[in-house]
């Protein structure tokens, strides 16, 4: 019976060592997976910040353009036509005069 108990203990101890080895393998795999996950999280954070900066910049540009449009609208509403274009001129082309002489067929060739 002592040998049987000893065999059971040895078998149990062997199972514990195997379980410990599998556990160490899982922990190692977990540590290997955590590094890429941290890299992805870092990239996502950076992209989020870049996107926020870009949106802020676009809002500033839109505000600036809106202000310029308002100034132009007010100027046009006030009747301030600041263009220096001359009024269109009408040109008269001279009209051809009728030929009153005799035509010679040899001259036309």
Is 107 contained in some domain? Answer: no
In a domain, 89, yes or no: no
Q: How far is 51 from 64, CA to CA, in rounded Å?
A: 20
CA distances from 47 to 54, 67, 72, 75 (A): 10, 30, 37, 42
Q: Give a yes or no: residue 98 inside a domain.
A: no
- List, for residues 11-35, the tens digit of each pLDDT value: 888 888 777 777 777 777 777 777 8
Predicted pLDDT of residue 80: 64
Reported as a single tens digit per residue, the pLDDT across 69-90 is 999 999 888 886 655 556 667 7
Q: Which two tokens stand for residue 1?
A: 């019976």
103 assigned to some structural domain: no
The answer as to whether 96 is a domain residue is: no
The total domain count for the chain is 1
The pLDDT of residue 52 is above 70: yes
Question: Any residues with CB less than 8 A from the CB of 82 and at least 6 apart, and which?
Answer: 75
In a domain, 93, yes or no: no
Evaluate whether residue 13 is within a structural domain: yes
Only one residue has tokens 């100027």, namely 75
Q: Is 97 among the domain residues?
A: no
Range(s) of the domain holding residue 26: 2-80
């Amino acid at each position: 019976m002592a040998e049987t108990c000893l065999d059971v203990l040895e078998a149990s101890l062997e199972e514990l060592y195997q379980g410990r080895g599998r556990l160490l393998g899982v922990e190692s795999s977990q540590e290997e997976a955590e590094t890429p996950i941290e890299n992805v999280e870092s990239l996502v954070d950076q992209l989020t910040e870049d996107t926020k900066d870009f949106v802020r910049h676009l809002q500033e540009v839109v505000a600036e353009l809106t202000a310029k449009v308002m100034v132009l609208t007010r100027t046009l509403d006030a009747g301030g036509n600041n263009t220096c274009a001359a009024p269109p001129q009408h040109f008269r082309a001279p009209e051809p005069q009728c030929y009153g002489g005799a035509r010679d067929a040899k001259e036309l060739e």
